[in-house]
Structure 1
């Protein structure tokens, strides 16, 4: 009887702890301080159940918790509902928006979390915040564990005494710790297991991405210079065809070839590599001309929309290219190794017309404000022979709607002047270089003889503000206004 009670008690305790094992720890006012005090490294998400951003983060947060469950030193992911059981805790830590994430060391806040919001990015960021930037590999078993992970690892095989590499490696690993997983060792048995010499730096690609088109390891053969080592790592990190996601997309520079398909190394690694290997086969012959990446087509549907792809029923990759000028190209043919190779050759030799997202040409364009679309942009902006003020807007933007009648009045007042007032829907048309539009409305002034050097307009947005600016900046003095923007007296006949 006593044994049965003990067994039941043990099962009850296991059930209680097992609910959180490998998952997100649910905390509230009653247990937050006690539970978190016993943890060395905790990422806490303060959330509200109705919050849309929280709902989107939740599955990624849970995936990250699962990936981190066996880490040493341990990293715990926890959550606090600020609308119910955790109101006081959220108030204590100044939570005013959702989700708010903070990193705790015991009961103390270490720092606000400003890292990625995708599972692999959360994992990498949190690992970079815990312990030294580089993990010491003390045994051959440590080496095997380090190399068994599904992301790139960089190992410094150091000399047992007076290592020439160690000091530089420490600086590099400290700088890149949030992006790269580092290991180091001076253990003779580990060096023997890895078949490496002392003071050697090696980049190891994960076994998951092994292929016959590029080596599994890359050995650094330069001087022990910090900048050179950093360049070596960043150049080789993504390999010939990188796995591009929301967190690392900015690391990929133009000219860039992207293959979009159902990329999923967790649920379907074999199928994912099936298509990646075909991309690799072609990429090896164009590696000096383009960077290459694969991306999940659902995760990057908004990018595909920019190439006119709303939906693709095919399992085959959709191929796009953005060249060094920012021009876009889409492979129209169904994917095959042969069609992919032919497409890249034509992009390389400028045989293809760039893809242009554009509204239809307006039926009439004689209003006070000229309408620009991608198809007529050169005609109505670049080659119109006039000084030009252009507004890039979004139809849903409140500030743009407020500006619309002011812009119309401005166009009416400057009718007959050597100045064009132009607007363009930047959500429905490709914005050409060198214009940079990151918010709405964005306005630029283009002198008629320097259309390649647009000047961002940041002055007032009343009609008089625009007229004063244009009167001062106009290449030739306006007919109806002096240089100060004051109306000229009309000459009576």
Structure 2
């Protein structure tokens, strides 16, 4: 019995099922039952079988994509099938299905007939070549495939004809790619390869030397934990391809330490502003430390040449660059009970050891932040007579960068952080955002002795959050950022 799980580009599309109705056109997805399962699946060199339940929300949501994939792959003689686990409960149980949607197993069987076709079936294809399925590499490879079935396409071959055609000795592991070097063999001792070793090697190979970044693949770069070097280009510029070709050797040189991408400067101009590029002038270049959220923009008045980019990245790696911190102007006055923080004065104000500090990090466009504002203003009013002991503050986090000395980065809005007086430790506030709860929290965690203050009788009404995430606004901001 041979199945396949195709990934990563089609992973989401394949992780679904199709629910046809009487008026729907004929489906290219095969419907399998216990009576015909083995007869249809076993002869196929490459087939994807989706186990689903009609009531499964994820299955329903992704069903159209699965149908489209079946039609597209039909031309390559790759079949997609489905099994209704409500109607075919015994068949699903026999295949160890415990959730929906699910495809098993993660490794395709590779033969002389499908070997060449499989190599180009996805952006990244990893194939293990073993002399016998009981080879230790097969077990470690299967563990890797099971953990990363949503990321890559995996195959395994013990076909002597396949091994002979490649001229390699088993055991061996080769990755085939649709970009850069088309095939790369595992360069380390294969006998001691662990799932962690294989996964890390795959993650490195899965990222091109330089590729366009957008909303679809940004998470791949974010998860890599490497600094990200952006080359902002105008796609309509006749010199775009030449500039990419010029920068590519530099990107290849630093591949093991920094990921390089190019980005549509017209579409994602606001992301350039977020990276502290003040002008809409292209090409432009900036390095971002994703872990610390620090930005190192290259001077936009200078030419972005290969030599300049190479020197800039090397200085970054040598820790010779100073991050550029975005900051709004320091307010001329602080007339409100809630102190307005900006990047330029953050350390000076917040690290005043005599005061407890409670900060709301917000974004102007964030709906949850707007709803919290009346309560936060009330909290400032409540402690207004004790400003020498407690500072209630707010900072527009998309317009002001935190200095490197701050041990956290804002990931969602609003984010509430409390710093007791006399220390450097920050506490995450994750409780109820009602006025009484906030007051109680400050009183409990403050190092200073805060005088009891009469709570205002009335508080502006709070709009229910409606079940949305507390940490991330569900509204779509009117700006183009990744």
CA 231–403 in structure 1, closer or farther in 2 if over 3 Å, else same: closer
* Gapped regions of structure 2 (runs ≥ 5): 1-17, 33-48, 55-60, 89-100, 456-482
| Structure 1 residue 362, shift from structure 2 partner | 1.4
User: Is 2:294 aligned against 1:330?
Assistant: no
Aligned counterpart, 1:444 = 417
Aligned counterpart, 1:21 = none
Contact 2:418 2:426 in 1 (8 A): yes
Aligned counterpart, 1:392 = 361
| Structure 1 residue 231, shift from structure 2 partner | 2.8
User: Is 2:430 aligned against 1:430?
Assistant: no
Contact 1:36 1:107 in 2 (8 A): no
Aligned counterpart, 1:341 = 310
CA 37–395 in structure 1, closer or farther in 2 if over 3 Å, else same: closer
Alpha-carbon displacement from aligned partner over 1:300-351 (angstroms, at most 9, x marks no partner): 555323124488564x464433265331111223321111012112322333
Contact 1:201 1:220 in 2 (8 A): no
RMSD: 4.4
Aligned counterpart, 2:75 = 70
Counterpart CA distance in 1 for 2:154 and 2:439 is 59
CA 37–353 in structure 1, closer or farther in 2 if over 3 Å, else same: closer
Aligned counterpart, 1:307 = 275
* Gapped regions of structure 1 (runs ≥ 5): 1-25, 47-53, 77-103, 111-127, 488-493
Contact 1:155 1:203 in 2 (8 A): yes
Aligned counterpart, 1:468 = 440
Q: Secondary structure at the match of 1:209?
A: coil
Counterpart CA distance in 2 for 1:59 and 1:302 is 33
Q: Compare CA radii of gyration and give the structure with the larger one.
A: 1
Aligned counterpart, 2:319 = 350
Counterpart CA distance in 2 for 1:320 and 1:138 is 45
| Structure 1 residue 294, shift from structure 2 partner | 4.2
Q: Map residues 120-269 of structure 1 onto 2, 5 A cutoff.
A: 132-139=105-112, 142-149=114-121, 151-160=123-132, 162-206=134-178, 208-210=179-181, 216-222=184-190, 223-238=192-207, 240-241=209-210, 244-252=213-221, 253-261=224-232
Contact 1:372 1:424 in 2 (8 A): yes
Aligned counterpart, 1:373 = 342
Aligned counterpart, 2:449 = 477
Alpha-carbon displacement from aligned partner over 1:185-212 (angstroms, at most 9, x marks no partner): 1122211222211111122333x4249x
Contact 2:233 2:264 in 1 (8 A): yes
Q: Map residues 94-113 of structure 1 onto 2, 5 A cutoff.
A: 105=83
Counterpart CA distance in 2 for 1:360 and 1:60 is 49
Q: Secondary structure at the match of 1:320?
A: strand
Q: Secondary structure at the match of 1:178?
A: coil
Counterpart CA distance in 1 for 2:437 and 2:122 is 57
Counterpart CA distance in 1 for 2:433 and 2:195 is 49
CA 162–27 in structure 1, closer or farther in 2 if over 3 Å, else same: closer
Alpha-carbon displacement from aligned partner over 1:14-60 (angstroms, at most 9, x marks no partner): xxxxxxxxxxxx9974334974785566899x9xxxxxxx9xx9999
Counterpart CA distance in 2 for 1:150 and 1:298 is 29
Counterpart CA distance in 1 for 2:431 and 2:137 is 54
Counterpart CA distance in 2 for 1:370 and 1:444 is 14
- Give the number of equivalent residue pairs: 395
Aligned counterpart, 2:287 = 320
CA 324–28 in structure 1, closer or farther in 2 if over 3 Å, else same: closer
Bigger mean CA deviation after superposition, 429-438 or 351-360 = 429-438
| Structure 1 residue 388, shift from structure 2 partner | 0.4
Counterpart CA distance in 2 for 1:383 and 1:248 is 42
Aligned counterpart, 2:473 = none
Contact 1:254 1:326 in 2 (8 A): no
Higher RCO, 1 or 2 (CA under 8 Å, sep at least 6)? 2
Q: TM-score, with normalisation over the residues of structure 1? A: 0.66
Counterpart CA distance in 2 for 1:173 and 1:271 is 41
Q: TM-score, with normalisation over the residues of structure 2? A: 0.67
